[in-house]
Structures are given as structure tokens and as C-alpha cells.
Amino acid sequence: TLQLTLAIFKPDIVSHPHIVHQVKNMIHKSGFLFIRSKRMHLTRARVQDFYKEHEGRFFYNRLVSFMSSGPISTHILARENAIAEWRKLMGPTKVFKTIHDEPESIRGRFGLTDTRNSTHGSDADETAKREIHFFFPEFDIEDWYSEC
Ligand code: CMP
């Protein structure tokens, strides 16, 4: 059965269309479907809201500055086991370790730093629902699941 997850292409790759192109190819090759896509430029307040569980962490301010520094694109992806599979394709958060451990992953190939790590993915079913709703409030998740 298909599962939905939320993917974000962060400003560090959105400013490089050839990298976005390669990332999309990797996503297609891994068997994901793109259900909805949107490009946007978030305000600091919107980013703070999105990442509110990280408030107070040492990297929070730089994360908020980075994510509001330029356009992002957000995507609802579908696949069997989409949440775990998208996280596997991205590779671990910390880029310098990932470059050694998972060099073929998205972050291994394109990540620049622990903050500018190219992509984001939901970490669990409830988070995916919250994050999809955050960017696609008009998308009816329950209706989508009941149709497939
Ligand atoms: P993301 O998966 O979007 O979730 C939180 C983000 O915080 C993470 O990717 C990084 O962009 C950023 N971040 C920066 N430094 C760290 C760190 N040391 N640990 C975790 N996340 C970090």
C-alpha cells in the first residue's frame, strides 16, 4: 500500500536547477510518485513555525535564516513505505559524516553543511500529516488514502 511523505528541496539546491534535476531523477528511479508540488519563499515566521520542535537548539537560528534565504520547493511523495524510503534516499542529516558513510545518497552527493543539507523529509506518519497539511492545506490526506 502507498504511503505519503513530505519532501522539501532547500534553498541550497533550488538555486541550482541542474541539481534539482538530478535529485528528481533519483526520486523517480526509486519508484516515488510526485502527487503535488509547490515552489515558495518562506518568511522567517513560517520557518520558525515549521521547525518549532527545534526551537532553542544551537542550530535553530542558522536553520531559520537559511530556510528563509531563498525559494524552496515542497513535494508530496507517494510510495510503498515512503517515509522511511525517502529518508534512506536522502541519507543522514549530518553531511560531513554522510559524505563518507553514504556518498551515493542525496545529502552525500549534494549536501554542503549540516544546515545546508539539500533536502528535508518527514520522520514519522503523524509528522508527515502535519507537514503535508502545513504546505498543502487544500490537500485532503484522508480522502487520498481512502481512494487508494
Ligand atoms: P532537517 O531534516 O530539515 O531537520 C532539521 C534541520 O536542522 C536539518 O535538516 C538541518 O538542516 C538543520 N541542522 C543544522 N545543524 C543540525 C544538527 N547539528 N543536527 C540536526 N539538524 C541540524
CB-facing half-sphere around the CA of 139: CA atoms within 13 A: 22
CA end-to-end span of the chain: 8
Is residue 120 annotated as part of the catalytic site, yes or no? yes
User: What CATH code is carried by the domain that includes residue 51?
Assistant: 3.30.70.141
The atom number, within ligand 1, closest to the CA of 67 reads: 11
**Quick check: is 101 in a domain?**
no
Domain that holds residue 23: 2-88+120-147
**Quick check: is 99 in a domain?**
no
Please provide the average confidence, as pLDDT, over all residues in the chain. Answer: 97
Side chain identity at 57, as an amino acid letter? Answer: R
- For the Cβ of 116 lying below 6 angstroms from any atom of ligand 1, the answer is no
The pairing of strands 119-121 and 2-9 is antiparallel
Judged against a pLDDT cut of 80, whether residue 148 lies above it is answered with no
**Quick check: is 79 in a domain?**
yes
Q: What average pLDDT score do residues 22-31 get?
A: 98
Interface ipTM: 0.94
**Quick check: is 115 in a domain?**
no
Domain count, the chain: 1
Q: What is the pLDDT of residue 14?
A: 98
**Quick check: is 107 in a domain?**
no
The pTM (predicted TM-score) of the whole model is 0.97
Return the best residue to mutate from 10, 64, 94, 115 for the ligand 1 pocket (most ligand atoms within 8 A of CB): 115
Binding site listing: 10, 59, 87, 93, 107, 117
Distance 146 CA to ligand 1 centre (A): 33
For residue 63, what pLDDT band results from cuts at 50, 70 and 90? very high
Distance CA 52, CA 80 (A): 29
For residue 102, what pLDDT band results from cuts at 50, 70 and 90? very high
**Quick check: is 12 in a domain?**
yes
How would DSSP label each residue in the chain? -EEEEEEEE-HHHHT-HHHHHHHHHHHHHTT-EEEEEEEE---HHHHHHHTGGGTTSTTHHHHHHHHTSS-EEEEEEEEETHHHHHHHHH--S-HHHHHHH-TTSHHHHH--SSSS-SEEE--SHHHHHHHHHHH-TTS-HHHHHHH-
Distance CA 119, CA 6 (A): 10
**Quick check: is 134 in a domain?**
yes
Nearest CA residue ID for atom 12, ligand 1? 115
Q: What average pLDDT score do residues 98-113 get?
A: 96
Binding site listing for ATP: 10, 59, 87, 93, 107, 117
Tell me if 76 sits within 8 A of 12, measured CB to CB: no
**Quick check: is 33 in a domain?**
yes
